[in-house]
Structure 1
C-alpha cells in the first residue's frame, strides 16, 4: 500500500501460473515498486491491461486469505471518496495487521444455532418499534433513529434486533463508543445467543486475539459483531443490520486520516449493502435528526403517555430557585439546599444518589483570587491545576510544579478554584453526608456497577456506574462548564450527557428526582425537563441551517502553513457554489498537522458547500492533494471533512 496521495490508484502486475491459485482478489501480496518491496492487496484479476509498457511480476503471495472482501473494498472506496482520503489510509483502518501463526490455526467450522424467537414487547413500547422488528425478520432494509426510554435496557433491545436479523439468516453489526459499552452489550448478547455467533472487536484486545476474532468473522463463524469504531469495517457476509449506539460520543470519530466518523461509515455501509440501520441513544444528534428529516430513516419514539411513566422528575435550580420553595443559598452555593434535601431523602430511603461533575481530578483549573486571571505555568503558559489537597500546583501541559504561585497580572498570591473536580467534590460531599459510603468514578478509576443501598456516587460524564434498581436522585453540577464551551456541539453534547445520567434514575412514580443546577430558561435545560431530545435536535438543526453549519451543509477544514493551503486551493477544482471562510489561526486545542515545522504558522481555511455537494468537494480536494504530492516541495495540508470541532 502506497501512502503517497498521487499514487492512490491500481497498478498492474503479472501473476505466474504457480501464484495464480493463491493470488486471488483480497489476498495480501508483495510487489516491487520503484526498486523496493511494498505490501499490497490483489484488487482484482483481469486478463488484459491498460499499461503500455512492460509489466512486472508479483514477488510473492504473503497470504492466500482473502482479507479484503468485495463488500469491504467497496466500502473503503466510498469512505475515501466521502472524506477526501486515500484508499491506503482507509485500508489501514479496515484490515488489521497479519499474524501468520493465527492464520495457520485450524479452522473449526460449526453450524450456528438459530436464536430463540424474539419477544416483541420491548420494542412495541416505541410506536412503530414492533413494525421495525418485524421488518428485520423479513430481511427488509428498515432504517430508524431510536430514542431510548429511561429505565429501558438499550443492550436488550439491540440484542432483540440482532437476534431477529440472525433468525432471518443474515448477520448484524453493532458499533458502540467504548469498551464499557462493548462489555455491556456482550453480556446481554451472550445471555441469549450462543457464544459461537458473538464476536467482540475492540482496540483493547491484543493484536493476535483481535486478528483471530477478525478472521473468525471473515470465515463466517461470527453472526453478531460488537465493537468500537474500527469494527464498522468488519468483514461480515450478507450483512442485514448495522446498529450504532450513542452516535454523539467523540470516541466514534477516527483521529487518523481520513478522519471518518463511525456513524457515517455505518450509514454508508447500510446504503451500499441495502441493509437495515439503527441509530440509538437517549439524546439525538443533529446529524441523526437530519437523516430522519431527509426521509432516509424513520423515527422510533415512545408515545408521550409511555414516556411520562418512564422519566424521573426533573427540576432546574436557577438563581432564584423555585417559586414554591425559595432557596436563598442557591445564589452562591455550588450545591443548593434544595438539592441537598433531595439527596438526603433518597439516602434515607436506602437509595444511591448520583452526582455528575464535568471534570475529573481535584481542582483541574485555578485562577487568581484577586483579579480572576487564569493561573498559568511560568515555563510553558499551560493551565495550572491542584492534583490533591495541600499539594503544590502542577501544570497540565508540562507537569512542572509551582509551589509559590503569583499572578502575572496583579502580583497576588491568592488563588481560587475555577472548576471543582470529581475527587474534590467527593471530599466535600463526604463531609456533608457523614456515615454514607462515597464512590468516585472518573478517569482511570471507572466503576461499572455499584451495590444496592444508600451511597453517594460522584462521576464524570460517561463514567456513571449502574445501580441495581436505579438511583433515587441525580444532581447535575457545574452546568456552566458544559454549556459555556465555545463549541458548535456544546448544547447537544450537554443534553446527551445529562440524559445519559438521568436515564439511570428511577421513574417519577418510584420517587426518582433529577436536579440540574442551571437556569431553567436555557433551551437545553428545558429540553431536559420536558425530556424532548427530538425537539432539541430539530431546533439545533434549524439553527445550524440558518448560519450555514453542519449537518445542514458540509465543511472541509484545511490546516497547514499559509503557502501550502493556498497552493491546495489553487490546484483543487472546487465545484460551483463554494464558500471560502478564513483563513484564521489554528483553533486552540487542535493539534498541529504532522510534517509542518514548529516554527511555521499554521492556519485553518474552511470550505463550505451545500449538503448535496460533499462528493464533488471531496473529489476536488483529493485532486489538489494529488497534484501537490506529485510536485513535492509543499508541506502536507490536513484535510478534514465535517470535523467535530470547527473552531
Structure 2
C-alpha cells in the first residue's frame, strides 16, 4: 500500500515564520433581518455553485431554526450569493465561523436528501486540485440534477430482504475466466478477504457463451468483492460495453445488487438508479465515465476497462480522466483498483514500473492458443504473389480471408473512418477539395449525393478546383458506409451489417454475415468471428499524434480479440511497423514498455506532467506572464493552433515539469486563473492538465 504524500500547501513544509495561525472561530453573527439561528451548530458551511475560480472555497451561512432538521451535511441548498439566489451543497455544520463579519442566512433546503457524501466531497476536491479546476465544476460532474418526483417515490426494501417467492438460488461460484491467469485466483481471494489489490490486467482475447470473457471476468471480481462485504464500481468507455458488462453482472449477482448508469437512460431514470446506490440498495455500479463518482458505499474495488479509449477523458472542465479519478478514489478509500484491457497504455505501465500496481497476465502458452493468426498484407510472400497488393485497398489476401471466413460464420471488417466519402480531392491535380465559402473539407454522404462542406454544411454543387479548374472529384478517404456498399456488391448473397455513429450494434448472431464497423463499435459475435480484416492501417498510423502507435495497437487488438481462437486476421499495414509486430506476437506489454521508455527519454507524458494553455494570443501571453511556475518548468510555445471553424486566431502554450512538480504546477495555474477571474479578464484561457492531444 502506498501512503498519501504531503500536500504542497501543508504548513509543515514551510518555515515556521511563514506559517500564519488561523484565527480562532468566533460566534456566528447573523445579519440584520436573519431569523433566529439553530440552537446547536448554527453555522452551515456551503459549497456554492459559482463558475468563478477565485471564489473556489466554501462560505459560511446561518442556519435558521426552522431549517435545523433538514439542514444536514450533503443536502442541496439555496443561498444568496453576490445578490443572487444560487444553488449549493451543505458540507458541514459548525458551532462557530471563522468569518468575523455578519453571516447571511441559509435561504432554503431544496431537498432533505443528503446527496453529497463526505467521500465524494473529498474526491471532488482532490480531482479539482489535480486538474487546476474548481470544486463546483467537479460536483456538476459528480452529482446528477435533482428530480423531485423520483425522490418522493417509495423506497424499496434493502437488497438483503427475502423476496416474496423465497430466496434466489445461489449463483455459481468459482474463478471463471480468472483461472487462465497464474495470479487470477489469488486476486479474487484478496478481494473476498477484504484486501485492496491494485493490478494492471492484460486480458486474454476471446468470447464465451455469455459474451466477451473480459465482461465475465469483471463480473466475477465484483461478485467476490461483494462477498467480502464491500461495494464495487466498474467504469467502461461506452454504452455498448456497459450493455455487455450489465448482462454479465446480472448473471453473476443477486437481483438488484447492481445498477447500470449511462447517459441514454434519461434524467429521471438515471437519478432513480443513482439514488438506489446512494441509499445502499445497490452495492455495485457499472457505467460510463460519469459513474466514476457514483456514491458506492464502502468501496472495495474500482475497475476501469480499456483506459486508453479517449471516451474516458471528460469533455467538460476540468477535463479529468477516468483512470486518474479512480486511482485517486482507490487511494483515498483504501479500495482495490483494476485497470484492464487487451492492450496497455503507457500510463498503466508507469504504475507498474513504480510499484504502485501489480500485473495480471496469462502465460505465453495460453496466449498462443487463444490469439488469432495475424497476417500483414505487406508480407514478402504476398507481394511476390500479387504485385498489385502494394497499392490495393483490398489485396488478394484480404479477399481470400473474407471468402474463407464466410464459409464458417460472420466476418468483421474494421474501417477507421465513418461516413461514405469523408474526404475528397480534385480528380485532375489531387488537391484537397475545399468549400468556396469557408475553405472547409468537402465530403459525400452517398453515391448519388452532391458534395457538401463538413464545416458549414453548404452544398457545393458548382464546385471548381482552385488550383487547376477541374470540376470532378475523387475519393481521398473511403468511409465505412462506402466500404459496406462495395462489399455488398462483391458478396451479393451475404448480409452486410454496419456498426458506427449511425447505430452501434452490441451483438450479432453466429450466421454468416459481413460486419463493417468503425473502431470501438465492433459488435460481439456469438461464438466469435470466423475471420477479420483491418482496413486502411495507414489512416491510423499516419496521424500526427503522440499516442498514435499506442492507439492504433489498442484499436486493432480490441477488434482482433473478438475472433475465434486461431482465426485468420489480416491487417493492411507494413509488417515492419512496431505496432504491427506487437499485434503479430500479441504482446502489448513489451510495446507499452518500449513506448514508456521512449517518452521518458524524450520528456513526454506520463514520464512528466504537462499542461496546455489555449486561447487568444493576447490572453495566453498575458497568463504566461502572470503564472509563477515551479522550479524546472519549461514553457513550449505559444504556437498557433487550428480553431474548430477556422474563423478565430488561437494559440497554445505547453508547460512541462518533472512528475513530482505536478501538484505545484496545478496550484500555480489555478492561482493564475483565479487572478484573471478576480479582475474580470475579458478572455478565457482554457487550462488542461495532462491532455490526450499533446501533439
Alignment TM class, shorter chain as reference: over 0.9
Q: In the aligned structure 2, how far is the partner of 1:560 from the partner of 1:225?
A: 38
Asked whether the 8 Å contact 1:362–1:387 carries over to 2, the reply is yes
Deviations, residues 514-548 of structure 1 (Å, cap 9, x unaligned): 01011100001001001011111111111111221
Matched, 1:536 2:591: yes
Asked whether the 8 Å contact 1:320–1:330 carries over to 2, the reply is no
Asked whether the 8 Å contact 2:406–2:513 carries over to 1, the reply is yes
TM-score in terms of structure 1 length = 0.95
Matched, 1:316 2:376: yes
Please list every run of 5 or more consecutive structure 2 residues that lacks an aligned counterpart in the other structure.
1-48, 162-167, 208-212
Deviation at 1:442, TM superposition (A): 2.1
Corresponding residue number in structure 2 for 1:444: 502
Q: In the aligned structure 2, how far is the partner of 1:570 from the partner of 1:20?
A: 48
Corresponding residue number in structure 1 for 2:103: 55
Deviations, residues 425-466 of structure 1 (Å, cap 9, x unaligned): 112222222322222222212222222222211111111122
Deviations, residues 258-301 of structure 1 (Å, cap 9, x unaligned): 00011110111001111000011111111111111111111111
**Which of 331, 335, 359 matches 2:390?**
331
Q: In the aligned structure 2, how far is the partner of 1:167 from the partner of 1:320?
A: 54
Corresponding residue number in structure 1 for 2:636: 581
Q: In the aligned structure 2, how far is the partner of 1:3 from the partner of 1:156?
A: 42
Matched, 1:466 2:514: no
Asked whether the 8 Å contact 1:376–1:382 carries over to 2, the reply is yes
Runs (4+) of structure 1 exceeding 4 A deviation are: none
Q: In the aligned structure 1, how far is the partner of 2:204 from the partner of 2:144?
A: 37
Matched, 1:340 2:399: yes
Deviation at 1:587, TM superposition (A): 4.2
Corresponding residue number in structure 2 for 1:475: 533
SS at match of 1:402: coil
Asked whether the 8 Å contact 1:200–1:226 carries over to 2, the reply is yes
**Which of 228, 244, 251 matches 1:191?**
251
Instruction: Trace 1:67-106 onto structure 2 (pairs within 5 A).
Output: 67-106=115-154
**Which of 485, 490, 515 matches 2:548?**
490
Asked whether the 8 Å contact 1:488–1:645 carries over to 2, the reply is yes
Corresponding residue number in structure 1 for 2:313: 253
Deviations, residues 300-333 of structure 1 (Å, cap 9, x unaligned): 110000100101100111174547x622220221
Q: In the aligned structure 2, how far is the partner of 1:163 from the partner of 1:529?
A: 35
Q: In the aligned structure 1, how far is the partner of 2:361 from the partner of 2:325?
A: 24
Deviations, residues 377-414 of structure 1 (Å, cap 9, x unaligned): 11111111111113211111112112243211122233
Asked whether the 8 Å contact 1:319–1:331 carries over to 2, the reply is no
Corresponding residue number in structure 2 for 1:284: 344
TM-score in terms of structure 2 length = 0.89
Corresponding residue number in structure 1 for 2:616: 561
Corresponding residue number in structure 1 for 2:481: 423
For these two proteins, the number of residue pairs brought into alignment is 635
Asked whether the 8 Å contact 1:562–1:602 carries over to 2, the reply is yes
Instruction: Trace 1:86-165 onto structure 2 (pairs within 5 A).
Output: 86-112=134-160, 116=171, 118-152=173-207, 153-165=213-225
Greater shift after overlay, 152-161 or 302-311? 152-161
Q: In the aligned structure 1, how far is the partner of 2:120 from the partner of 2:503?
A: 37
Q: In the aligned structure 2, how far is the partner of 1:360 from the partner of 1:351?
A: 25
Asked whether the 8 Å contact 1:321–1:330 carries over to 2, the reply is no
Matched, 1:223 2:271: no
Greater shift after overlay, 489-498 or 114-123? 114-123
Deviation at 1:569, TM superposition (A): 2.6
Please list every run of 5 or more consecutive structure 1 residues that lacks an aligned counterpart in the other structure.
593-597
Q: In the aligned structure 1, how far is the partner of 2:153 from the partner of 2:438?
A: 53
**Which of 560, 571, 576 matches 2:626?**
571
Indicate the RMSD between aligned Cα atoms, in angstroms: 1.7
Asked whether the 8 Å contact 2:611–2:690 carries over to 1, the reply is yes
Q: In the aligned structure 1, how far is the partner of 2:196 from the partner of 2:355?
A: 13
Q: In the aligned structure 2, how far is the partner of 1:61 from the partner of 1:369?
A: 67
SS at match of 1:31: strand
Q: In the aligned structure 1, how far is the partner of 2:635 from the partner of 2:304?
A: 33
Corresponding residue number in structure 1 for 2:57: 9
Q: In the aligned structure 2, how far is the partner of 1:121 from the partner of 1:43?
A: 43
Corresponding residue number in structure 2 for 1:595: none
Asked whether the 8 Å contact 1:175–1:227 carries over to 2, the reply is yes
